[in-house]
Amino acid sequence: MLPRRLDIGMPRTNAARSGSLVNLRPRVNTASLRRHSAVLPSVLTFAVIVASGGLLLMIEKGMLNHMDTPPPRGTGVRSDFIRNTRKQDPNVDTESQIVQEIRNRTIRTMCGQKNMPHSIWTLPPVQRRTVLQHILVSDKHKFLYCYVPKVACSNWKRVVKVLNGALENVDVKIKMDHKNDLVFLADLKPEEIKYRLKTYFKFMFVRDPMERLLSAYRNKFGEIEAYQKRYGVEIIKRYRKNPGKTNGDDVTFAEFLHYLLDEDVEKMNEHWMPIYNLCQPCAVTYDFIGSYERLHQDAQHVLQQIGAPAHIQFPERQTWYKPVTTQTLHYYLCNIPQRLLRDLLPKYILDFSLYTYPFPNTTSAFCRH
């Protein structure tokens, strides 16, 4: 049976970010906050979220085109260098630099709070095990990569295998084995883990939370029989009034979201577990956080940072891959009960706030279009 619903308390607020008009109004439940280890932002952090949303709007409207921006964390590059480079090369992606800086400052602000973890060794055992199992190791190129399912992690694993000599090239037509020929931090001793966390280049990639959930839903319940039987059948029995006999292959998106709302975050399948819980950005200081929305540009940056050979390029999408377009996402979000979406967002609030993604706009006026 599926676990009972977890209520996670959040500060009462009507904060609305530009283009994100879903009101978050869950109840404050301090007892629940003490019981459950899923950490949620304070009022101060929520103010940072709102500020980040305002900055993103300014980016979208081109209001920051003539402003000098700080470099991403850990580069050691001064802002005057970026300013001079921009004058010399009109193709420099200043918006990416701004997004990186917003993320870095938001993470520093939130992770600097006393109640946040500052090391993987201060995490509860379940959370520590999760993050250690999701960080891949390359001793040859001295990097750590925290993989996030539904954020191009299969292609990144191909790259890691090629770099480590376990795969001939990234275009080999074989089914990806997600465990063999890969080394995870969880495979190492504590001293070995500490050394690599301190000295290796660390990176991860993120994606719009709702887009990632929709991608997982369409893939797992529309194409993978094992997920249909393991999760789909039970979801339909639990959330459909007259389920009848089912193979679990016709789960609706609303039923899937109902299931997520009732699921314990720490017991979630990795394909829909929040990115925050998978990679713990407060406990691990990542040198670079790439975006799915600019996957190849950010991947190229990472390959340069780790000193990958020039002939190794990030692979193109598989021909069978069905991308989640903006229109597709809007269609799904506009056709579910809005209260369901409003109740679910607090569970993924850190993925929205830390990585500067706007809340979905599902107002009646917007959905009519």
pLDDT band at 152 (very low <50, low <70, confident <90, very high): very high
Closest by Cα among 105, 15, 357, 361 to 207: 357
| CA separation, residue 350 to residues 41, 106, 122, 278, 322 (Å) | 7, 10, 19, 12, 27
> Is the pLDDT confidence value at 14 over 60?
no
Model pLDDT, residue 210 = 97
> Is the pLDDT confidence value at 318 over 90?
no
**Contact, 234 vs 258, CB < 8 A?**
no
Model pLDDT, residue 64 = 34
SS3 135: strand
Q: Which stretch, 41-55, 182-196, 237-251, 307-321, has highest mean pLDDT?
A: 182-196
Model pLDDT, residue 319 = 64
The residue behind tokens 């520590």 is 128
**What value does the mean pLDDT of the chain take?**
79
**Contact, 228 vs 221, CB < 8 A?**
yes
The secondary structure of 177-227 as a DSSP string is: -SSTT--BGGGS-HHHHHHHHHHSEEEEEE--HHHHHHHHHHHHHHT-HHH
Closest by Cα among 142, 143, 188 to 288: 143
Compute the residue count for the chain: 369
pTM of the model: 0.76
- Quick one: residue 27, left, alpha or beta (phi over 0 = left, psi -120 to 50 = alpha)? beta
pLDDT band at 37 (very low <50, low <70, confident <90, very high): very low
pLDDT band at 151 (very low <50, low <70, confident <90, very high): very high
pLDDT band at 320 (very low <50, low <70, confident <90, very high): low
What are the φ/ψ torsions at residue 201 (nearest 5 degrees)? -75, 130
Instruction: Please state, in angstroms and rounded to a whole number, the distance separating the CA atoms of residues 87 and 83.
Output: 7
Mean pLDDT of all residues in 152-164:
91
| CA separation, residue 149 to residues 105, 152, 155, 224, 331 (Å) | 25, 7, 11, 15, 23
* AA identity, residue 360: P
Model pLDDT, residue 347 = 96
Model pLDDT, residue 166 = 78
DSSP secondary structure code for residue 325 in this structure: -
Mean pLDDT of all residues in 16-27:
43
Among the ranges given (62-76, 185-199, 346-360), the one the predictor scored with the smallest mean pLDDT: 62-76
pLDDT band at 22 (very low <50, low <70, confident <90, very high): low
> Is the pLDDT confidence value at 265 over 80?
yes
Mean pLDDT of all residues in 36-45:
41
Mean pLDDT of all residues in 266-277:
97
Residues with Cβ within 8 Å of residue 17, at least 6 apart in sequence = 49, 50, 53, 54, 358, 359
> Is the pLDDT confidence value at 49 over 60?
no
Model pLDDT, residue 176 = 67
What are the φ/ψ torsions at residue 343 (nearest 5 degrees)? -75, -30
DSSP secondary structure code for residue 230 in this structure: I
What are the φ/ψ torsions at residue 289 (nearest 5 degrees)? -120, 105
> Is the pLDDT confidence value at 63 over 70?
no
What are the φ/ψ torsions at residue 259 (nearest 5 degrees)? -60, -45
Instruction: Please state, in angstroms and rounded to a whole number, the distance separating the CA atoms of residues 125 and 130.
Output: 9
Higher pLDDT, 171 or 196: 196
Model pLDDT, residue 177 = 65
Higher pLDDT, 62 or 355: 355
**Contact, 132 vs 120, CB < 8 A?**
yes
> Is the pLDDT confidence value at 175 over 70?
no
> Is the pLDDT confidence value at 359 over 90?
yes
